[in-house]
Amino acid sequence: MPAVSKGDGMRGLAVFISDIRNCKSKEAEIKRINKELANIRSKFKGDKALDGYSKKKYVCKLLFIFLLGHDIDFGHMEAVNLLSSNKYTEKQIGYLFISVLVNSNSDLISLINNAIKNDLSSRNPTFMNLALHCIANVGSREMAEAFAAEVPRILVAGDTMDSVKQSAALCLLRLNRTSPDLVLMGEWTARVVHLLNDQHLGVVTAATSLITTLAQKSPEDFKTSVSLAVARLSRIVSSASTDLQDYTYYFVAAPWLSVKLLRLLQCYPPPEDGAIRGRLTECLETILNKAQEPPKSKKVQHSNAKNAVLFEAISLIIHHDSEPTLLVRACNQLGQFLQHRETNLRYLALESMCTLASSEFSHEAVKTHIETVINALKSERDVSVRQRAVDLLYAMCDRSNAKQIVAEMLSYLETADYSIREEIVLKVAILAEKYAVDYTWYVDTILNLIRFAGDYVSDEVWYRVIQIVINRDEVQGYAAKTVFEALQAPACHENLVKVGGYILGEFGNLIAGDSRSSPLIQFDLLHSKFHLCSVPTRALLLSAYIKFINLFPEVKGTIQEVLRSDSQLRNADVELQQRAVEYLRLSSIASTDILATVLEEMPPFPERESSILAKLKRKKGPGNLHPDLDENRKERSANGGTADHSSTTSNAKSSPLSFVGDLLAPASTAPPTNRPRPVSSSYLLQAPLTPIPLQASAVPVLLSAGPLFQVAASPTPSTDLLGLGSTITTQNSAPPASKGTSLLVDVFSENIAAFPVETPVAVGPVADENFSRFVCKNNGVLYENQLLQIGLKSEFRQNLGRMYVFFGNKTSTQFMNFAASVVCQDTLQAQLNVHAKPADPTVDGGAQLQQILNIECMSDFVDAPVLNIQFRYGGTLQNVAVKLPITLNKFFQPTEMTSQDFFQRWKQLGAPQQEVQKIFKAKHSMDTEVTKAKIMGFGAALLDGVDPNPSNFVGAGVIHTKTTQVGCLLRLEPNTQAQMYRLTLRTSRDTVSQRLCDLLSEQF
C-alpha cells in the first residue's frame, strides 16, 4: 500500500472520531452522529460538485457511523463514484464502503460491476487487487455471475503479477464456496494445478487452498496435483530453514503451505506411482524426524508451527493407512505428546490416537499407551480432554483389555462430569456387551452401572440387559440372584427396580429354592419398592406380580390381596387400574393351564444390532465413531458368540400366546389414552412398524379377557371389546417418531434406522379427484375436507418447477405436529426429484401454512408423486394423502413453427411406435375457445393456419427433462356431429407419446 501522504490525513474524520470517543453518554453520541449525518446530507445534496478528497472523507465518516451500529441509507452513489477515481486512497475507500455496505439487491450493482470490470482490465496491479478483494469480500451471487469467467482468466494469464495471482486464487476460492455452480471447470483447471510450481510461495499457498477445495468437488480433474504437491512438499521439508526467507516462520519452513499441501494430499488415496510414493514417505519421515530434534527456539510459535505440520502429517498417514512403520512411528510420537505439558497437545494427541486405534497396523501400538490414557482420565483437569480420553479408551478396547477398561471407566463414572456421564454409560454398556466372555460379568457390570449412575442409564441400556438375559439361558439364574441381592439395598435406583421386576418376574423361580429368597420374600422385596416408583415402573411391577402368580401358586393369595386393594383397583391412573383389574380377574377366573399359557416365559428376542450402539451413533453423529472399526470387531465377537444361536433355537418352541405385548407396554411412554379410538389411517401407518406377531399375540389375550370385563363392570368406560382392543394396540404402537417408543419398536423390528426410509409408507386412500383438473392449469384448490384445504400455485420452467402448497386450517383449533412430505413411488424416484422445504409443525386455527416444493424432472415419467400430510387435531392423528398434480406436460416448452416446418417434423416422427392415436367421445361441450385454452394450458404452442382444415387444432412443443428433451407434435380433430375427437401425438419417445395422449384425452 502506498504510504499515506500528509494530504490524505482527513482531519475532519479524525476530529469527528475523537468527538465521538469523547462523548460522555450514548445520547450525546447519537446527537453528534445525527448532526454529522445532517451535515453530510447537505453536502451530498448535489448543488455543487464535491472534490474527490471531501467525497472520500464523507464516505469514510458514513462508514464509521455504520460500523458504530447505525443505519446508513445514502451515500452509496458517492462511494461508487470514488471507484472510478485514479487515486489509490479514494478507490480503496470506495471499495471498502461497497464491500461493507452494499447489499446484493441494490440497483447500483451494475455500476459497481462496471467499475470492477474496468479495474480488472486495467494493467495496474494494485487496482486489480482492490477489485479482486472486493469481489471476494462481497461474494454475492451477482458478483459471481458477473466475474466467474473473468477471475480464472486472470489467475492463469501468463503476464499477471504474483500478488494479483494470489488475490485471484483466493477470490476464486471464495466464489467457489458461495456459488459453486457458477465456477465452471474449464481449460484453466489444468493450468491452475501448475501454479503449485510457481516461484512465488504466496501464490502457491493461495493456489493450494483453491485446489484443495476444487479437488474435493471433482477429484479426477486435479489428480495431477498429487505429484506436484509431493514435489513441492519435499522441497520445503528438505530445505534448510533459512532458504525460504520471508516464508520461514520461527525456524519452520513455510508451515502454512506445508499444512495446506498435506491437506490437499488427504483428498486422494496414497499415490500409485512408486517414485512419488517413496518421495512422500520420505517427506513424512523427515517431518517425524524433525519432531524428534531439539527445538530451535524456545518461543511457543516455533513449537506450534512445528506441531501443526506434524499433526497434519499424522492425519495424512492415518488417512493413507498403508505404511505400518509410519503408523507405528506416528503412534509413538503421539504417545510422547500424551504426557506433554500443553493441554492442547494432549487433546490433539488423544483425538488423533482415536483414529489411529481404528487402523489394524497401529491398533496394537495404541494399546501400549493404555496406562497413560487411563491416567489422563483420572488426572486431567479439562473435561474436554477427559472426554477424548474416554473416546480413545473406547476405541482401543478389545477382548484382551476389555475388563480393565470397563473397570476403569466404571470407577471413573463415579466422579465423572455430568455432561459426559450418559455417554460413558452407553460406552460401558456397549463394551461390556461386546467383549463379554462370560455373561455373569456382563450382568454385574450393568448392575454396577445402574448403581453408580442410575439417572444416566437410558432405557436402551436396561432393555438390552433384559434382552440378553432372556436370550442366554446360562445367565438367567445368576442374573436373578444378583438382582435379588442388589434390590436388598435400602435405596436403589428406579432402573434397578425395573430390571429387578422384569427378571424376577421371569426367572424368580430359579432362585426360589433358596429359603433366603423364597417366593414370598421375593414378592415382599419387590413390593417394598412399589410405592417409591413412577407409574410406568409400577405397571411393570404389576405385570411381574401376575407372573409370580403363575410361577408360585403359593403366593397367589397375597398378590390377589395386593391387587384387590383400593390403591390398585381404584388407582387414579387408568393404566394401573386397568392392569390391576385385568390381572385380578385373570388370576381368579383362569385355570392354571390357561395362566401358564398366557404367562409363559418370554420368547428370546431376535438378534440384531444393539440399540445402544444406535443411540451412541445418534448422540455423537456420524464420523466420530468408526464404523469400519466396529464392523471389524463385530466379526470377532460374532465368532465368540456362536453359543448364542443354540439358545435361540432351544427357546423357539415357546408358544405364540405369550404376554409379550403387555409386558412390554410400560416401555411405551405415551400416556395411556382412554378414549376408544377408531382404527384410523394413523393406525395403518404405524402398523408396519410393529411386526405382525405382536398383534397376533395381543389380540387373543384380549379376546379371552373381553368377556371378563362384562362381568366385572370395570370402571373404565371402554368396556366394549373393539374399544379396548384399539386402546391397547395404539398404546403398543404409540406415536411414530417419539424417542421413547423407538426402542419398543426396536425390540421387534430388525433395524429401526432402516424403517422410515425403506418402508413405503402405507397410507389411506390417496385422494386424486381434483388431479385431472390440474393437467391444464397450475393454480387452484387441490383437496378439501372438513378440516383442511390444500391449495396450489405452481410455476414451471424447462425441467424445473416450483410449487407453493397452501395448507389452510378450516377449524378454529391448532393443528399440532403438522408434517407434509412428498413420496415418489418406485420408479418415479429416479425420474422426478421433489424437494420439500420443511414447514412449521403447527398451523393455527383459521391460518394458512405455506410449503414450497422444488421439482426437477430427471426423465419422462408416468406416475404422480403423493403428498402425505399428517397432523394432530385435538388429540387424534389425521392422515391425508393427495396425489400431487405434477404431470409430464408441465415441463412443456411451447415452440412456434410454420406450416412447412411442422409437416416436415411430423413426417420425421413417422415411426409407428412414436405415434399414438386415440379416438374418444367428448365429455364436455365442444367449444372451440375452450379447447384452444386447454391445449395452451397443456403447454404446447397452438399453431394457427397449419392444418388445412381450420377446425382442427395443431400444437407443438418440447418436453424438457434433465437428461433429454423430447419434441412433441399434436393434432386434435374434432367431429362435432358425432361428438367425437381424434387425438394424434407424435413425439420422439414412445412413452412420452403414450403418457401425453392419456393426459390430454382426459380433458375433453
Partner 1 sequence: MIGGLFIYNHKGEVLISRVYRDDIGRNAVDAFRVNVIHARQQVRSPVTNIARTSFFHVKRSNIWLAAVTKQNVNAAMVFEFLYKMCDVMTAYFGKISEENIKNNFVLIYELLDEILDFGYPQNSETGALKTFITQTGIKSQSKEEQSQITSQVTGQIGWRREGIKYRRNELFLDVLESVNLLMSPQGQVLSAHVSGRVVMKSYLSGMPECKFGMNDKIVIDKQGKGGATEEAAGKRSGHQSIAIDDCTFHQCVRLSKFDAERSISFIPPDGECELMRYRTTKDIILPFRVIPLVREVGRTKLEVKVVIKSNFKPSLLAQKIEVRIPTPLNTSGVQVICMKGKAKYKASENAIVWKIKRMAGMKESQISAEIELLPTNDKKKWARPPISMNFEVPFAPSGLKVRYLKVFEPKLNYSDHDVIKWVRYIGRSGIYETRC
60 is in an annotated binding site: yes
Tell me whether residue 43 is annotated as binding.
Answer: yes
For partner 1, the binding residue among 11, 48, 107, 220 (CB under 8 A) is 107
34 binds partner 1 (CB under 8 A): yes
**Binding of residue 137 to partner 1 (CB under 8 A):** no
Strand-strand pairing, 780-784 and 788-797: antiparallel
Nearer to partner 1, 108 or 521 (CB): 108
Residue 72 C-beta: closest distance to partner 1, Å: 9
Q: Collapsing DSSP states into helix, strand and coil, what is residue 586?
A: helix
Does 783 carry a binding-site annotation? no
Q: Over the range 609-639, which residues count as b (16 or more CB within 10 Å of their CB) and which as e?
A: ebbbbbbbbeeeeeeebbeebbeebeeeeee
Angle at 896 between CA 895 and CA 901, to 5 degrees: 105
Q: What does the alpha-carbon distance between residue 973 and residue 980 come to, in Å, rounded to a whole number?
A: 9
Give the x/- contact pattern for partner 1 in 340-369, rule: CB under 8 A.
------------------------------
Residue 204's nearest CA partner among 256, 139, 266 is: 256
Nearer to partner 1, 45 or 921 (CB): 45
Task: Note whether 642 binds partner 1 by CB under 8 A.
Answer: no
Select from 73, 631, 635, 929 the one that contacts partner 1 (CB under 8 A): 73
Closest to partner 1 by CB, 38 vs 383, is: 38
Rounded to an integer, what distance in angstroms lies between the CA atom of residue 682 and that of residue 430?
35
3-class secondary structure, 623: coil
Cβ-contact 855, 832 below 8 angstroms: yes
Rg of the Cα trace of the chain? Answer: 38
Q: Is 39 in the site for partner 1 (CB under 8 A)?
A: yes
Please, what is the Cα angle at 982 between 987 and 929, to 5 degrees?
95
Near partner 1 by CB under 8 A: residue from 12, 17, 19, 32: 32
Residue closer to partner 1 by CB (options 57, 960) is: 57
Interface residue with partner 1 among 4, 14, 38, 762 (CB under 8 A) is 38
> What are the DSSP calls for 919-974, one per residue?
EEE-SS---HHHHHHHHHHHTPEEPTT-SSSTTSEEEEEEEE-SS-EEEEEEEEEE
Near partner 1 by CB under 8 A: residue from 6, 11, 24, 531: 24
Q: Which amino acid is at 652?
A: A
Choose, by CB under 8 A, the member of 35, 618, 619, 636 that binds partner 1: 35
Give the integer Cα–Cα distance in Å for 457 and 612.
Answer: 11
**φ/ψ (deg, to 5) at 804:** -100, 120
930 labeled binding residue: no
Q: How far is CA 592 from the centre of its chain?
A: 53
Residue 225 burial (10 A CB sphere; 0-12, 13-18, 19+): buried
Is 108 among the residues that bind partner 1 (CB under 8 A)? yes
Nearer Cβ to partner 1 (21/341): 21
DSSP state of 843: B
Q: Is 81 in the site for partner 1 (CB under 8 A)?
A: no
21 binds partner 1 per the rule CB under 8 A:
no
Residue 805 Cβ vs partner 1, minimum distance, rounded to whole Å: 30
Shortest spacing between CB 74 and partner 1, in angstroms: 5
In angstroms, give the least distance from the CB of 706 to partner 1. 56
Instruction: Pick the piece of the chain touching partner 1 (CB under 8 A) from 25-33, 157-165, 459-467, 619-627.
Output: 25-33
Residue 42 CB, nearest distance to partner 1 (Å)? 5
Greatest CA separation for the chain: 109
Q: Is 31 in the site for partner 1 (CB under 8 A)?
A: yes
134 is in an annotated binding site: no
Q: Consult the annotation and say whether 58 binds a ligand.
A: yes
39/813 with CB nearer partner 1: 39
How many amino acids of this chain bind partner 1 (CB under 8 A)?
20
> In this structure, how many other beta carbons lie within 10 angstroms of the beta carbon of residue 787?
16
Closer CB to partner 1, 76 or 369, in the complex: 76
Tell me which of 10, 16, 37, 405 binds partner 1, using CB under 8 A: 37
Q: Closer to partner 1 at the Cβ: 74 or 920? A: 74
Rounded to 5°, the CA angle 569-574-577 comes to 20
User: Which span (22-30, 170-178, 322-330, 690-698) binds partner 1, by CB under 8 A?
Assistant: 22-30
Candidates 18-26, 217-225, 377-385, 575-583; binding stretch for partner 1 (CB under 8 A): 18-26
Residue 153, phi then psi, degrees to nearest 5: -65, -45
Q: Examine residue 76 and tell whether it contacts partner 1 (CB under 8 A).
A: yes
Q: Is 104 in the site for partner 1 (CB under 8 A)?
A: no
CB of 69 to partner 1, least distance (A): 8
Chain positions 42 to 71 lying near partner 1, rule: CB under 8 A, are 42, 44-45
Rounded Cα distance between 178 and 172, Å, is 10
**Helices marked H in 244-382:** 255-265, 274-292, 300-320, 324-338, 343-357, 363-367, 370-379
Interface with partner 1 by CB under 8 A: which residues?
Answer: 24-26, 31-32, 34-35, 37-39, 41-42, 44-45, 73-74, 76, 106-108
Annotated binding site: 11-12, 43, 53, 57-61
